[in-house]
Structure 1
């Protein structure tokens, strides 16, 4: 019973916090640490010819993956959610940081994630065929391993 009370008290305190700050003009208001993803940054498409190539893949696959990612091949839709630069939006996570929610970042695991997403929301990723999926997985690996 005590733990329920603590949870309810914490929720009430959190919900009241903004009102408490507005009531005290000498207090700073809450501000985002960083602006929302993709809203205020200039999105620059990484040059495909300068990206690293994972073992077992070719430069041509990276270039094709770039075209799929940006909707220029196979009706790809990746950049709609992940941004032109792959750094994410409110709808899709940052693919350039090398930290992945659903995989270990290997090309095979990135491919597995893409296939899963395609199964969960059919048609939302474009008209990707196996070669397109391989290429875009290699491209995502490449943008996550790019030198700064």
Structure 2
């Protein structure tokens, strides 16, 4: 009988230890940084201070800014990439100069945008070829940071 009580006590101790470990783990998970853009102040980069890629104009970068932020061509870029372009749980950070789907050149950024438009028509907005050129130039610009004067 004494052995049965010892086994029962040991089983209870193991069970309680497991509960405590699960509780500690769930509390530990709360320390993880929240997903991008949820608690971060998002500040729209001023397009006038962004660099202009070779072969493009300031006007194209400015138009790309409006497309990115939904002010032209019903652009939807900022919905996934954040107002500041620093990403959300649905879209990667475009400001660090490291691209998942391209080498970061305007040509490759444009290719990625066109690919996305083909995969999920309408999700990027109503972009025409001129809008794609402009938003690709804008994304290149935000990936290269503000011009310091």
Q: Who is 2:21 aligned against? A: 21
SS at match of 2:55: coil
| Residues 111 and 24 (structure 1), Cα distance of their counterparts in 2 relative to 1, 3 Å cut | closer
Q: How many pairs are equivalent? A: 130
SS at match of 2:28: coil
Higher percent of residues as helix: 2
State the structure with more CA Rg. 2
Q: Who is 2:48 aligned against? A: 49
Structure 1, residues 64-109: CA drift from partner, whole Å, max 9, x if none?
Answer: 0000000000000000010000001111111111110100000000
Give the alignment's Cα RMSD to 1 decimal.
2.2
Q: Supply the distance in 2 between the matched residues of 1:32 and 1:143 (Cα, whole angstroms).
A: 30
User: How do residues 1-148 of structure 1 correspond to structure 2 at under 5 angstroms?
Assistant: 21-22=21-22, 29-147=28-146
Normalised to the residue count of structure 1, the TM-score between the two structures is: 0.81
Structure 1, residues 2-55: CA drift from partner, whole Å, max 9, x if none?
Answer: xxxxxxxxxxxxxxxx96733669xx7234542210001000000000000000
Asked if the contact 1:52–1:146 (Cα under 8 Å) also holds between the matched residues in 2, the reply is yes
Q: Supply the distance in 2 between the matched residues of 1:21 and 1:124 (Cα, whole angstroms).
A: 43
Q: Supply the distance in 1 between the matched residues of 2:109 and 2:43 (Cα, whole angstroms).
A: 22
Q: Who is 1:10 aligned against? A: none
Q: Supply the distance in 2 between the matched residues of 1:23 and 1:103 (Cα, whole angstroms).
A: 42
Structure 1: any 5+ residue segments left out of the alignment? 1-17
Normalised to the residue count of structure 2, the TM-score between the two structures is: 0.80
